[in-house]
Structures are given as C-alpha cells and as structure tokens.
C-alpha cells in the first residue's frame, strides 16, 4: 500500500542512519526512518550475564529476535550451517533503535590518516583487495569533531603522538580515577618507551547533554546503561531530530527491497510492519544503513529487471570484502590484586603499533579489556590449566582478581571472497532470502595479529605480570560487530559499489551509510568513523538533492 511521498527514507536506526536523518531534517526535509527492531531503553536491560549483546548464550535482548532471523554460515570446510542470532558465526550486531550504540562499550576512535591510504603506504599483498579510500582523513576531520561534540566523547588523546591532526580537544575529560589497571599498565608502557593515553569513549565522564556521568558499574559493554551515560544515536541525535516533527521513526519495520522505477531511479522502499503487512514508502532519496551484512543483503534483495544482480552490483562487488577486526592479545597474571571492579574497565591504550610494525602492513591499537563478569572469564585460562575440575576451579579462584587482559583490533587485509551472498533456500520470517556468510581471513592478517599479541604480552610483562599467555585468533570468516567493507567506496565503478559520496554507482538517488562503505577498517573500533561519515554524507545529500522550495 503506498504512503504519502517523503523527501528521504532511511533504512536502519543504528550508528549511521539517525545521523543522516538528522542532517536531512536540518535542511528542512521530511524523513521517514525505518528500524526493524524496537526502541529499547535501559529499563529493558535486565543485567543478565547470559542474555546480553556480548554474551547471548540465552539470546539477544536488543535483537534481532531469537527466532525467525536466521543466517547461513559457510565454514572454511565448505559446510553450510543455519545459525540463529545468538549462535556463533552469526556476526550479530544489535537490531534496535540505536543499533549497537545502545549497548556498546563506546570506544570513540578516529582512524589515523594512514588508515585511509593503506595501499599507497604498503601495497596490497597477494590475495587481498587492499585499496586506498577515495576520501582522506582531512575530509573526515571536521565531521569527526562534529560527532565528538554532538554525541559527546570523553577521554584524553593529547599524549598520543600517532593521531591525525585535530582542531579541538574532546568535550569531556577521562573518567577519574581510571582504576588500578590504568596505573599498572601506564607504568609498564612508559618503561618500554611507549605512549599510553586515555581511551576516547562515547561516554559521559561529567554530565553532558542533560544526562549524568558514568557511575562506573560492572554492567557496561553488552548492556544498556542504567543511567544513560553512554552516548548512542538513540539518546542524542534521534530525540533532537524527532522533536522537529519532520522525522518519523517507524520501529519493527523490516525493509524488503528498494523499489526502482523504469528509468532506473529509486522510487522508495517496500517494507513489512510488525503485523507483517506490506507497505510502500515513496521517497525522493533512499539511504541504506543496515550494517555491512544487512545493507549488502538489501541491495542484493532489490534485484529487478533493470538491475538483475541487485543494486550497485553490475561488477559483482556487493557483499565482497567482508571484514571486521582480528582481536588478539595476551593475559597477564600479577602477584597483587589488580582487578578493582570499577567500570568501564577499558581505560588505557597505545597506538604505537597501528603502523609501527617493521615489515608488516599495519597493526592496531592495544587496550586493556572492558570490565568482566565472572562468566566472561571462562575463556581466560592459560593452555596448561585443565578446562574443568578441581584444578581449574582453584586456578579461577586465584586468577580472577589478579589478571589483566590487553588486546586490540588488528586492521585486516580485505579478501574478495570473504563475502555476503543471498542464500538460495533459507528465508527469514517475512520470506526474505537471508545472508549467506563465507570466506577466509587473509593469512597476513593473522601474522600481524600474532605480532600484536606479542606486543600485548611484552606490555604486561613490563607492567609486572609474573606470568603471561597469548590469546590468538583463527582463520575463520571475520565480521562480528565491527563488520565492514561489503559496499566499498571508490572512484571506479568497476571496483567499488558506491562513489566517494556513498551514492550507489548506477543509481542517482540511493546511498549507503554505514561501515559497508569502509574500504579498510582501521586498527580501531569503527563507530566514530561511521558517525563522522554519516554527518559528511548527510550534508552532501542535502546539497545534491536540494529540496525545491515551495
């Protein structure tokens, strides 16, 4: 059923969509924002250590719903498995208003200038589609700043000599005191001549934007903040945009396809509401912001007579280059108690090894881990300790409060065959073909991440760890919450999906705004880059498709 025409329809209310919507509303546009999930609030967060977005053993509280949203995961052995959102390999990101930003740990990194020109700096290794971004750090810098101030970022990066140039400091200081781990690791890093600093976070360290400061509790990453001190799109840009009356948010609405008319122009989207009814929302401009897996799926599911392989897929690049981050690091055991049970836990970082590994293509930041819950310590065991029984229990008893974990997101070498396709058989509860995830990590990614793990170990030793052991990654498909790369941004339509303004090649009024467009994914959590790019593209869309005043 067709609805009244609007200026833009935005699909997905995660990190990117609401920011684009806000920028369009600022230009006076009428916008509809469709979100498949619900508008959860901290009141829906039951602080369940087995049912949260970090440990979904018993399901995901913030979506997608446990049933009716399967994906197919193809292992490196070629075996395909149907998985639910709470099972391994699904690469889940939350499906709710705010997306991952409702329940994330909230690290707010700017990528480094070199991260946008990885191919120029290092050259692509065999078997990788490593390339430069068509935009530079300088293009994004003003928008990074805008995201930091409009959403609210705390921390202090002034001691990081490797960061890109910035005009303004962060709006809030770091949380204080940072905790025992910070003290211990700060000393260790300085002993090694490294440059430790305070992790920037989308988290209030002082009251900001009418909401209080972080109360330093244990229920952080994976949970919605009880006092609303974590800054996501759901409690910052979205309420502001909604207040204008120009934006309408429709929750529990799953987009089926982007509709394209005979002339090859998008005319709007077709979607299912919560009762399963089909609606057509006509719009002058369509913005796809569903995350790297779902955005690629939507473009592929929008195939029609004019674009039989899906939108933007003339050269078979949609869904390609799926990447995330390869996390590796080390654990260190100390003689004294170093765990002080104060959130957010992750406070200290170094970026000495984002590009400081001789002979290697990049690296990544290293940080201490977020505060842990007892169940999350299960994986921390060193190899010689048995997995169960009295000896295991005794080890956990000794180690829990004396152990620090340092790890970080290694920047990955993109692989063309790491990809999202449509599964030929499996469909979701609406009957829409689901994402089929397959492909390996690049071997060089693993080599780099193993070196990063050694750096983490050295850091822990310098900090006084009496025993250390490594946490390494395997070769399986990457993705996860940092999923990226599947709708690559580029100047050449033959080797990318969207142009430098994130407009889908071949279509004059369809845009992709999320980490799908990331050519490479930096050695940092990608959320602030998604947000900055959303500000940039939102502004650009408003200029390019300026509204006829009348």
- Judged by the rule CB under 8 A, the positions of this chain that interact with another protein are 42-43, 45-50, 57-59, 66, 218-219, 226, 341, 373-375, 377-378, 387-389, 393, 396-397, 400-401
Closest CB to another protein among residues 2, 88: 88
CB of 254 to another protein, least distance (A): 24
Beta strands in 138-189 (DSSP E): 154-156
- Closer to another protein by CB, 390 or 549: give it: 390
What are the φ/ψ torsions at residue 158 (nearest 5 degrees)? -65, -25
Q: How far is the CB of 226 from another protein (least distance, A)?
A: 6
Q: How far is the CB of 42 from another protein (least distance, A)?
A: 7
133 alpha carbon, distance to own chain's centre: 18
Give 137 or 223: the residue with its C-beta nearer to another protein: 223
Using the minimum distance from each CB to another protein, give the nearer residue, 226 or 506. 226
CA distances, 260 to each of 175, 286, 297, 299, 391 (Å): 49, 10, 16, 11, 63
CA distances in angstroms from 82 to 70, 115, 279, 399, 428, listed in the order given: 6, 35, 29, 37, 11
Neighbour count for residue 3 (Cβ, 10 Å): 14
Q: Measured from the CB atom, is 226 or 447 closer to another protein?
A: 226
Nearer to another protein, 13 or 84 (CB): 84
Strand pairing report for 31-34 and 197-201: unpaired
Task: Confirm if 268 and 280 have CB atoms less than 8 A apart.
Answer: yes
Taking the complex as a whole, how short is the minimal distance between the CB of residue 474 and another protein, in angstroms? Answer: 16
* Closer Cβ to another protein, 245 or 388, answer by number: 388
Least distance from another protein to the Cβ atom of residue 362, Å = 34
**Nearest distance from residue 372's CB to another protein, in Å?**
9
Determine the Cα–Cα distance for residues 261 and 216; give it in Å rounded to an integer. 52
β-strand 278-288 against 510-512: which pairing, if any? parallel
Smallest distance, another protein to C-beta of residue 66, A:
8
**DSSP per-residue letters across 62-102:** TSS-SSS--EEEE-TTS-EEEE-TTSTTS-----BTTGGGG
Kindly report the number of other CB atoms within 10 A of residue 166's CB atom: 15
503 phi and psi angles, rounded to 5 deg: -90, 135
Cα 79–chain centre separation: 27
| Nearest one of 500, 482, 9, 510 to 250, comparing CA atoms | 9
Question: Shortest distance, CB of residue 397 to another protein, whole angstroms?
Answer: 6
Distance CA 96, CA 276 (A): 18
Q: Are 529 and 139 in contact (CB under 8 A)?
A: no
Whichever of 129 and 403 has its CB closer to another protein, that residue is 403
How far apart CA 189 and CA 196 sit, in angstroms, is 6
Give the whole-angstrom CA distance, residue 508 versus residue 286. Answer: 10
Q: How far is the CB of 378 from another protein (least distance, A)?
A: 5
Tokens 């690559």, residue located: 488
Nearest distance in Å: CB 47, another protein: 6
Considering beta carbons, is residue 190 or 393 the nearer one to another protein?
Answer: 393
User: In this complex, which beta carbon is closest to another protein, that of residue 28 or of residue 88?
Assistant: 88
Q: Write down the least CB distance from residue 218 to another protein, Å.
A: 7
Residue 149 or 377: which CB sits closer to another protein? 377
- In the three-class reduction of DSSP (H, G, I as helix; E, B as strand; rest coil), residue 19 is classed as helix
- Give the residue from 13, 31, 14 showing the smallest Cα distance to 541: 31
| Of 337 and 546, CB closest to another protein | 337
Supply the minimum distance, in Å, between the C-beta of residue 95 and another protein: 19
CA dist 306 and 248 (Å) reads 31
């Amino acid at each position: 059923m067709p609805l009244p025409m609007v200026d833009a329809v935005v699909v997905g209310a995660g990190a990117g969509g609401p920011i684009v919507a806000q920028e369009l509303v600022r230009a006076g546009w009428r916008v509809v924002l469709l979100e498949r999930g619900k508008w959860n609030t901290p009141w829906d967060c039951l602080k369940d250590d087995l049912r949260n977005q970090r440990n979904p053993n018993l399901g995901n509280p913030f979506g997608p719903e446990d049933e009716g949203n399967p994906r197919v995961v193809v292992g490196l052995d070629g075996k395909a498995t149907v998985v639910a959102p709470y099972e391994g390999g699904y690469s889940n990101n939350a499906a709710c208003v705010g997306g991952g930003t409702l329940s994330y740990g909230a690290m707010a990194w700017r990528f480094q200038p070199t991260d946008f020109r990885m191919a120029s700096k290092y050259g692509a290794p065999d078997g990788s589609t490593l390339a430069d971004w068509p935009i530079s750090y300088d293009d994004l810098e003003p928008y990074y700043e805008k995201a930091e101030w409009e959403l609210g970022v705390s921390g202090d990066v002034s001691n990081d000599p490797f960061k890109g140039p910035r005009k303004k400091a962060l709006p809030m200081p770091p949380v204080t005191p940072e905790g025992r781990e910070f003290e211990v690791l700060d000393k260790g890093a300085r002993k090694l001549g490294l440059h430790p600093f305070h992790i920037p976070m989308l988290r209030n360290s002082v009251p900001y934007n009418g909401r209080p400061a972080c109360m330093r509790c244990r229920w952080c990453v994976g949970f919605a903040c009880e006092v609303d001190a974590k800054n996501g799109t759901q409690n910052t840009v979205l309420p502001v945009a909604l207040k204008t009356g120009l934006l309408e948010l429709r929750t529990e609405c799953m987009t089926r396809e982007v509709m394209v008319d005979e002339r090859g122009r998008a005319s709007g989207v077709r979607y299912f509401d919560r009762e399963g009814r089909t609606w057509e929302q006509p719009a002058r401009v369509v913005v796809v912001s569903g995350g790297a897996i779902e955005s690629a799926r939507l473009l592929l599911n929008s195939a029609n007579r004019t674009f039989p392989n899906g939108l933007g897929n003339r050269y078979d690049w949609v869904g390609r280059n799926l990447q995330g981050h390869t996390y590796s690091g080390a654990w260190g055991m100390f003689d004294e108690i170093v765990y002080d049970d104060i959130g957010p836990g992750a406070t200290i970082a170094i970026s000495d090894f984002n590009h400081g590994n001789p002979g290697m293509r990049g690296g990544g930041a290293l940080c201490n881990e977020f505060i842990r819950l007892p169940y999350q310590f299960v994986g921390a065991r060193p190899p010689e300790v048995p997995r169960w029984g009295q000896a295991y229990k005794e080890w956990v008893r000794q180690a829990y409060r004396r152990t620090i974990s340092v790890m970080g997101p290694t920047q990955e070498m993109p692989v063309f065959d790491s990809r999202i396709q449509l599964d030929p058989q499996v469909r979701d509860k609406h009957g829409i073909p689901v994402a089929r995830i397959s492909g390996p990590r690049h071997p060089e990614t693993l080599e780099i991440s193993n070196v990063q793990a050694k750096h983490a170990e050295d850091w822990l030793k310098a900090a006084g760890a009496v025993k250390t052991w490594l946490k390494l990654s395997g070769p399986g498909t990457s993705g996860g919450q940092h999923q990226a790369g599947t709708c690559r941004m580029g100047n050449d339509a033959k080797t990318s999906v969207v142009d430098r303004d994130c407009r889908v090649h071949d279509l004059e009024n369809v845009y992709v705004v999320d980490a799908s467009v990331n050519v490479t994914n930096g050695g940092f959590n990608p959320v602030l880059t998604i947000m900055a790019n959303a500000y940039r593209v939102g502004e650009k869309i408003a200029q390019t498709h300026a509204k006829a005043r009348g």
